[in-house]
Structure 1
């Protein structure tokens, strides 16, 4: 997976899966524009990655159209082009369907769908202009494939991203831009490890005997944006240790 001299944008990259994706990209020779909404986190992350390669931070809400365009502009002005986009940023608002608030619903859609849609649009226009192709990956979830308690809006948003990837095959294939999604299952991150017994619970529920780590997800993403996957587009790669084949629930009735 030689990504030398490729230029990538990664959103939601201050920690967790997004951060590991940046690390892997840099390790394989890419240059990275890293986005996070948290100013301190983004700046600290870029500093920590400087020894690994060329990395620049763009701080802001990944669903803000001005921030989206800024990311594309910074990639081009700093590194000369844009080859790869990974729309990793997303939010989760748990809630019972019968009492789920409009505020939570529209925020989930704004970030998970709007941010991904318009980042892909801005990036694709740049790639079209460059005439050298490119790769886009949306971050989906196993909840796009299997029902999960209190995640109706979130699962809906992730399923929509997978349909978006399929639709963009029609729109973007003429410009040699491939579009795919990665759908993680339970993954050990700073956020999930704050949940009580998270690792132990998913160890018992996952056929392969453990929850994913961030490296598992990042390596799947890197494959899809590499030249090894140039003939793969419109697909969703589930990385869940086999959980969605059986779908045992972590919730007790």
Structure 2
């Protein structure tokens, strides 16, 4: 029987590329999304890409619905699959939110709930399967914004910092159970949004010593390395930066804090 990986937020982009990487290495793959139809379509596409040699599953899940999530893991078990690996890609980016002084708390906490609370639930449910297997691996796709910060992104930066902390804690708590937990600290990634917006391409936050930012495959390669029990068998609680060296350099941002009426309150 093949090993089983669950990849969250894997219908497109980084998540789908992560799913492809594991599939190419013989894993059966479960793709999750908030959209059931998209998850099932992505799962079917992934199986076709691998000539039907692996099994794939797609599930639509609601944020913070842990009973629904537990039912998914139970369904996989009934189908003969215990999950050995979990890769957490799905995130609420908190894009276009007002600055800290103006953001609605309900919008702010929704990002926290998704990026910390929901991922906590995924880890807990997956770990129950891994205990039955005698061990496993959890890989968190974190962000340089969990280490440094960006204006008007307080929810996202706070949530990613908290997610990094959760991963370190779980590495300690689950280590005696032979469950390794590590974080890929992702820098800029060439998403569709990146290509569509020159201001993002020219942002100082996407300028790094290597002069390039990550493709989806770069994140997938790092996630697979940390999940692999032969290559990374003694690695847990680690944070692997895939950022072109951006965390190693100082970035000066000249722009002040702007309110919605255009007023600059700091510079």
Q: Same fold (TM over 0.5)?
A: yes
Secondary structure in structure 2 of the residue aligned to 1:127: helix
Structure 1 residue 195 corresponds to structure 2 residue 197? yes
Distance 1:119-1:204 versus aligned 2 partners, 3 A rule: closer
Supply the distance in 2 between the matched residues of 1:57 and 1:208 (Cα, whole angstroms): 37
Indicate the larger mover: 241-250 or 106-115.
Answer: 241-250
Corresponding residue number in structure 2 for 1:101: 104
Please name the residue that 1:215 is paired with.
217
Give the distance between the partners of 1:158 and 1:56, measured in 2 at CA.
28
Distance 2:11 2:47 in 1: 14
Pick closer, same or farther for the CA change 1:16–1:45 going to 2, 3 Å. Answer: same
Q: Which residues in structure 2 correspond to 1:139-178 (within 5 Å)?
A: 139-178=141-180
Q: Could you tell me how far apart the structure 2 residues matched to 1:202 and 1:79 are?
A: 48
> Taking structure 1 as reference, are residues 75 and 157 closer, same or farther at Cα in structure 2, changes over 3 Å only?
same
| 1:57 shift after superposition | 0.1
Aligned match for 2:40, one of 21, 40, 43 = 43
Q: Give runs of aligned pairs for residues 237-248 of structure 1, distance below 5 A.
A: 237-248=240-251
- Mark the runs of 5 or more structure 2 residues left unpaired by the alignment: 257-267
Query: What are the Cα deviations for residues 77-111 of structure 1, in whole angstroms up to 9, with x where unaligned?
Result: 23421100112111011431111211111111111
- Rg larger in structure: 2
Q: Deviations over 1:12-46 (max 9, x none)?
A: 11111111000001001101110011234223212
Task: Quote how far apart the aligned CAs of 1:6 are.
Answer: 1.2
- Aligned counterparts of 2:199 and 2:164: Cα–Cα separation in 1: 30
Q: Is the 8 A contact 1:33 1:74 kept in 2?
A: no
User: Which of 66-75 and 140-149 deviates more?
Assistant: 66-75
CA apart distance, 1:75: 2.8
- Residue 59 (structure 1) aligned with residue 60 (structure 2): yes
- The alignment of Structure 1 onto Structure 2 pairs a total of residues equal to 249
Query: TM-score, normalised to structure 2's length?
Result: 0.86
Shift of 1:152: 1.3
Contact 1:138/1:181, CA 8 A, preserved across alignment: yes
Structure 1: segments with no counterpart, 5+ residues: none
CA RMSD of aligned residues (A): 2.0
Residues 182, 239 of structure 1: 8 Å contact kept: yes
If the length of structure 1 is used for normalisation, what is the TM-score?
Answer: 0.91
Counterpart CA distance in 2 for 1:250 and 1:95 is 18
